Amino acid sequence: MQTGRLEKLLEFLKNEPNDEFLQYALATEYLRLNEADKALGYYENLVNNHPNYVGTYYHLGKLYEALNRKPDAISTYEKGMETAKAQRDNHAFSELQAVYREATGWDEDDY
C-alpha cells in the first residue's frame, strides 16, 4: 500500500487544519485506499463545517450509496444541488442532478 501521498496530506493538514481542499483531498485519498470510514468522516466534516465546498456532495453521496445508505445519498445530492444553484455552479449542479435522478429512479419519460 502506498501511503506517501497520505502522509504528505496529513502533514499539510497539521499546518492548515481548516483547509477545505486538504480535507477533501484526504477524504479522496482514504477512499482510494479503501478506508471508507475515514473518508466518510472527512466528507461529513466538510458538508457540516464547510457546506459551500460543492465538490464534496457528489462524492459523499456516492459513498453513501456504496454503503447502502441511499436515503442519506439522496438528501446529500439535494443539499448539493441547492448549494451549487446558490453558487451558480451549473457544472456541479448538472452532475448532482444526474446522480440524484439515478438514485431516485427519476426518468424523463415519466413526464
Return the domain boundaries, the chain: 4-105
Q: Cα–Cα–Cα angle for 8, 14, 16, nearest 5°?
A: 100
Spatial separation of the C-alpha atoms in residues 80 and 62, rounded to whole Å:
12
Among candidate residues 30, 98, 34, the one with its CA nearest the CA of residue 61: 98
Tell me 84's DSSP state.
H
Look up the pTM and report it.
Answer: 0.89
Q: DSSP states of 19-32 as a string?
A: -HHHHHHHHHHHHH
Among candidate residues 18, 16, 45, the one with its CA nearest the CA of residue 30: 45
pLDDT for position 81 = 98
pLDDT by residue for the chain (111 residues), tens only, comes to 456 999 999 999 999 999 999 999 999 999 999 999 999 999 999 999 999 999 999 999 999 999 999 999 999 999 999 999 999 999 999 999 999 999 999 865 554
Spatial separation of the C-alpha atoms in residues 94 and 76, rounded to whole Å:
14
CATH of 4-105, one of 1.25.40.10, 3.40.50.300, 3.90.960.10, 3.40.390.10: 1.25.40.10
Q: Determine the longest span between alpha carbons in the chain, in angstroms.
A: 52
Measure CA 8 to chain center: 21
pLDDT for position 108 = 58
